[in-house]
Amino acid sequence: MRRVDANVYMRCSPFFVYEKRGFLFFTRHVDRFCWEVDALIQLQQLHKSYQVQGKTIPALLGIDLSIDKGEIYGIIGHSGAGKSTLIRCINLLERPTSGQVVVDGVDLTKLDDSKLQEKRRQIGMIFQHFNLLSSATVGENVAFPLKLANRSKAEIQKRVDELLKLVGLEAHRDKYPSQLSGGQKQRVGIARALANDPKVLLCDEATSALDPQTTNSILALLLDINRKLGLTIVLITHEMHVIRSICDRVGVIDGGKIVESGEVLDVFLKPQHPTTQEFVEQVADSSELREAVAHEKAAGNRTIARVTFLGEKTYQPILFQTMQETGTVFSILQGTISRMKDTPYGQLVVELEGDVRQNEKTIETLRQRGLEVEVI
């Protein structure tokens, strides 16, 4: 059970009303609304190592992770960081060396083969290279997991129709995978993974083999499914863009450990760990900024600050008004106005000219008006 501050949550998602994440209640300490959220997946002290030519090669070094019902959880890391091993441990395609994998209250590592096979039907998975049956048509591929579950022909027919409609491939039912584009293949993969009404969808680098435009359409589909069906999604990726577009929370994995985790906004607006900072730089051009800051600082007697806007404030002229009122001259060294999932945010690096004392006052005013300001 994890408590999510309702204010934070509403800020994060205007769609909270019909996302079934938990129920709203008052905490004992009554001061704020909280969502009570059940963890759907819990990884405890997960270790995994491989034996290669007599040597032990560690891949995961004690992962603790808790993923809530209905959220989209992203795991980002460089190749070789262990993210692929981690996601494969969730449905036991890789058996962890030690540790627990609890999905919906059941520790998978304790199940025998047939129980595990049954449980896996509740955990859908899509792959980087789609992994469709090349000898089967689109319809047959989607029907495949239903066939494995011994459903009746009529039932399968009906379900396949629904699923193909959901992913927008009704017209391609009788085609073979080799006749489809990458994006279409991944849509088949998604339809197939959803066939048995899973509780979780695991995405193993699901967009890494796709071009940017197709990536976006697949991400939009995943987000749509998450909202329509309340499906929990766990994804791994090496692209910041993927995390920023659809994830609620993120874990950064490096060297087989989760080095930083939390709400996507918090982690990426204030990255702590060097690896996280690197990923943020992917989209923020920070190296350019560092040069600019160094250049301006050398000129002396200037204050450089990073101003962060969140939500509605992003589009209000708070910065301009404040500067005008205090008569501060400023220039913008770098700026981003964007959104993380549904939350607009802005981050401007500004340089204030003039008296340092005066600048401190200006910064104080900005803070009072609800902006976050960090002096660099």
Partner 1 sequence: MDWTLENVDWSEIAEGTIDTLTMLGFSTLFTILIGLPLGIILFLTSRGQLLQNQVFYAIASFVVNILRSVPFIILMILLIPVTKVIVGTSLGVLGAIPPLVIGAAPFFARLVETSLREVDRGVIEAAQSMGASNWQIIWNVLLPESRPGLVAGITITTVALVSYTAMSGVIGGGGLGDLAIRYGYQRFQTDVMIVTVIILLVLVQILQSLGDRLVMRFSRK
Sites for partner 1 among residues 190-209 (CB under 8 A): 192, 196, 202
Q: Given the DSSP bridges, would you call strands 200-204 and 123-127 parallel, antiparallel or unpaired? A: parallel
Q: Which is nearer to partner 1, 56 or 178 (CB)?
A: 178
Q: How many residues bind partner 1 (CB under 8 A)?
A: 32
Q: Which is nearer to partner 1, 177 or 311 (CB)?
A: 177
Per-residue binding string, partner 1, 25-64, x by CB under 8 A, is: ----------------------------------------
In terms of C-beta distances under 8 Å and separation of at least 24 residues, what long-range contacts does 253-257 make, across chains too?
A: 253/63, 253/75, 253/76, 253/77, 253/81, 253/82, 253/83, 253/86, 254/77, 254/78, 254/81, 255/61, 255/81, 255/82, 256/58, 256/59, 256/60, 256/61, 256/63, 256/81, 256/82, 257/61, 257/62, 257/63
Distance CA 200, CA 240 (A): 22
Q: Which is nearer to partner 1, 95 or 367 (CB)?
A: 95
Q: Which is nearer to partner 1, 123 or 264 (CB)?
A: 123
Task: Encode burial over 250-263: b for 16+ CB neighbours within 10 A, e otherwise.
Answer: bbbbbebbbbbbeb
Given a contact cutoff of 8 angstroms between Cβ atoms, the answer to whether 169 and 218 are in contact is no
Find, among 351, 72, 39, the residue nearest to 236 by Cα: 72
Asked whether the CA dihedral 171, 177, 180, 186 is positive or negative, the reply is positive
State the Cα angle at 361 between 356 and 367, rounded to 5°. Answer: 125
Sites for partner 1 among residues 78-137 (CB under 8 A): 91, 93, 113-114, 116-121, 123-125, 127, 129, 131-136
Q: Which is nearer to partner 1, 194 or 371 (CB)?
A: 194
Q: Which is nearer to partner 1, 86 or 352 (CB)?
A: 86
Per-residue binding string, partner 1, 279-318, x by CB under 8 A, is: ----------------------------------------
- Shortest distance (Å) from residue 95 CB to partner 1: 12
Per-residue binding string, partner 1, 150-189, x by CB under 8 A, is: --------------------------xxx-----------
- Shortest distance (Å) from residue 186 CB to partner 1: 13
Q: Which is nearer to partner 1, 125 or 363 (CB)?
A: 125
- Shortest distance (Å) from residue 148 CB to partner 1: 5
Of 10, 149, 283, 318, which one interacts with partner 1 (CB under 8 A)?
Answer: 149
- Shortest distance (Å) from residue 74 CB to partner 1: 19
- Shortest distance (Å) from residue 309 CB to partner 1: 42
- Shortest distance (Å) from residue 233 CB to partner 1: 15
State the Cα angle at 215 between 206 and 184, rounded to 5°. Answer: 75
Residue 318 Cα distances to 33, 62, 308, 313, 350, angstroms: 28, 45, 11, 8, 14
- Shortest distance (Å) from residue 32 CB to partner 1: 40
- Shortest distance (Å) from residue 222 CB to partner 1: 17
In terms of C-beta distances under 8 Å and separation of at least 24 residues, what long-range contacts does 220-224 make, across chains too?
A: 221/167, 221/187, 221/190, 222/72, 222/190, 222/246, 223/72, 223/341
Q: Under the rule (CB under 8 A), what is the footprint of partner 1? A: 91, 93, 113-114, 116-121, 123-125, 127, 129, 131-136, 144-145, 147-149, 176-178, 192, 196, 202
